[in-house]
Each structure stands twice: as C-alpha cells, then as structure tokens.
Amino acid sequence: MNKLDILNNDTIAFAKKIYGNDFIPLHRPVFEGNERQYLVDCIDSNFVSSVGEKVVELEEKVVKFTGSKYAVATVNGTAALHVAIELAGVKPGDEVISQALTFIATCNAISYAGAKPLFIDVDVDTMGLSPTALKRFLTKNAEKRTSGTFNKTSGKKISACVPMHTFGFPCRIVEIAEICADWDIALIEDAAESLGSFVGSHHTGTFALMATLSFNGNKVITTGGGGMIITDDFELAKRAKHITTTSKVLHPYEFVHDEIGYNYRMPNLNAALGCAQMERLDEFLAIKKQLAVQWDAFFDKRDVNFFKAINENKANHWLNAIILDSKEDRDEFLKVTNDNNVMSRPIWTLMSKLPMFKDCQTDGLENSLWLEDRVVNIPSSVPDGAIKKLDI
C-alpha cells in the first residue's frame, strides 16, 4: 500500500477506536446533562414559545462566559448576523467585506440586508480573513470620504467587514479591527463556530461592534436551532432585541409595532436546551481539546498537517481539520473514509464560485483556492460518556 492508503486505513481504525464501529458523524450533539429536565420544566410552565425565563437565562449565561456586556438570542445564527449587519448601518446597495472561504450563511445575511459581498483572501495559518490582504486591497482599491469608505472600482460604499473564525480557529482579529477603525468600516465578527475560542484572554466576538454566535445542532453546544448577537453597546443590544421581536412596543395588551421588524425570536424550549448545554460547555471544551491532542499526535506520526490555532490563541476545536498534499489526495481520503462510515468533509466551495456571488469583486483569493483543494474535516464530536477520560 502507498502512503495515502495507509493514512486512510489508519484514520478509519483510529476513529473507530474513539467512537466505536457504527457510523461516525462529523459532529453530533451530546445530551447527558439536564436537557430533558429543563425541557419538561419548560413544558410544565406552558411558556414554550418566544416568552419565557430560559431565554433570559441563556442570554445571561453567554454574557458571563464570553465577557460581553449584552446578548440577544435569535432563532438562528443567520438571523443574528442579518440583524447585526443592518444595525451596523449597512444599507441596500452597499458592499460588505468578507471571505469567500466561509459557510453560505455569512453571504446570505449580507444579501438579506441588500448589500453585496466583497471577497478578500484568508491567511493559510488561520483560514480566516487576512489583515495583510485586507490592508492591501483597501490601500489599492478604496478611498476615504467624509461619508465613509468607498470602492474606487464599483463606486459603492464599503460599510462593514465580516470576518469569520473558521471552524473555531481565531483569525487575526486584533489587526483586522485596527484596519477597520482606520478606514471607518464597521466590524462584525462572525463567531458562529467559535464559542469557547479565545485570543489571549478575550473571547472571540468581543473585538468588534457586534458579533454573532450559532447554536445549530452541529455546534459545540446546541439549542436545536438558535443564534445570538453579543455586543458591549447597550443601545445596539436594545435595538437588536426590539427588531428581532417584531418591533413590538411594550404594552400589556395592545399590538403596536413602530418599524419593520423580524420574527427572529428564540423559543423558550430551545433556550431551555441551551441552558443545560451551557452548564457543560467547559467540560465539552476540555474533552474536545484532549481529543484534538490525540488526533494531532496521530497525524504527526504520519506527516500530515493537523490544523492548530496560531500564537497564544485558544481554539474550541469545534471541527478538527487536516491539510492534505493535493486535491487528488483530498478526494481519495473523503471517498475512502465516508465509504467506511467515518464521516469526513471538504471545506466549503468558495462563495465566489457560487452563481449568486460569481460577479462579486475579489482580490484573487490565492490562499482560499489553495485551502479549498486540501482541507478536510474529521470526526470531532465529544465521545459517548463525555465525563469519561479519553484513553486511546
């Protein structure tokens, strides 16, 4: 057998040693705590929809964990990002800088606001927006006016920048924030995948005007479906809560709405699930770190690049990733592992290749294209019996 055949077979065997011999998903939720009891309590209270104490409790738990001052729960992460983009002042016809190497939700949210994505390359060692590429693009293609920063090519205003912490690995957000401040561009962190990731002592999502989280079923913790806006700005948090709850003016019984709003409310049932999950977040993160150490040692012995956070950053290890030598190796690895019930996944197709965004301006995306051909996600779930120590 050649090197790739050995790698494929060894990976399958190692994954089954961790998770067992059944189908091994990429990332599944773990419900071994108070989830069932909190759901029953919620049902017994009759508050199962968008009004209930668990929504407030979940917001408070996220505030405490992330160090943000305010949190607003939403029905999903895309809804949270849509509202954050609008609250940042993005208007229809504006442009929003992001990365082409991202999940579709980022660009969908930009589009919901009537804006157009502008794709800048990522750094190979973070898979997140590159501050070097960002500064180079703005210096060459943008100009500052009294009313903001404008794209010299399109003539459109560049209103915001939305970098993503890919797979939970922090991007160079400090440098990005400095560049955005210099160019008067609102910064919104797409932290959908990075709950539990830190840059130094600061949680991802706390470097920007606003940030958004996702609690989808495949995230580190889940509410089934859900998201959240976090911010240190009281007025923005107040506005976010208002327009995500249909812009209803508070009144004991009258139905008065003072602007266009959205029914983006997180149901109390979902929040109840999230509260139980938050109780175990530290445990999940510790186990996922231990699992990542095991995968790292495994791939290091086989001369395969196991992706890790840079500098002193701390990743949540939501989805572990490897970088293979070529697209051909990647495709073979994906086929063999999936054929043997070990789920692996390529990174997303670049947004700039999708029909909806193929006419969006890019900077060439050299690193993004390189990563697209080589990155593979491997099983990253907390194993059954999460409280047990991994002994592999």
pLDDT tens digit sequence for 314-348: 999 999 999 999 999 999 999 999 999 999 999 99
Structure tokens at 219: 């995230």
Torsion (CA) 6, 8, 13, 18 in degrees, nearest 10: 130
User: Which one, of 163, 219, 158, lies nearest residue 189 by Cα?
Assistant: 163
8 A C-beta contact, residue 213 and residue 237:
no
Contacts of 78 (CB under 8 A, 6+ apart): 105, 108, 109, 227
Q: Closest Cα to residue 365, out of 288, 385, 357?
A: 357
Structural domains in the chain? Answer: 3-28+281-377 (3.90.1150.10), 35-278 (3.40.640.10)
Encoded amino acid at 341, one letter: N
Q: How many residues does the chain have?
A: 392
Helix/strand/coil percentages in the chain, nearest 5: 40, 20, 45
In whole angstroms, give the CA distance from residue 349 to residue 163.
17
392 pLDDT more than 70: no
Binned at pLDDT 50, 70 and 90, residue 280 comes out as very high
pLDDT tens-digit readout, 214-253: 999 999 999 999 999 999 999 999 999 999 999 999 898 9
The answer to whether the beta carbons of residues 178 and 138 sit under 8 Å apart is no
Task: Average the pLDDT over 68-90 and give the result.
Answer: 98
Distance CA 4, CA 86 (A): 47
pTM value is 0.95
Give the pLDDT confidence score for residue 391 in this predicted structure.
Answer: 54
> What is the mean pLDDT of the segment spanning 188-211?
98
Extract the tokens encoding 201: 């002592």
What's the rounded mean pLDDT across residues 281-308?
Answer: 96
If pLDDT is split at 50, 70 and 90, which confidence band does 390 have? low
Query: Looking at the predicted structure, is the pLDDT value of residue 389 above 60?
Result: no
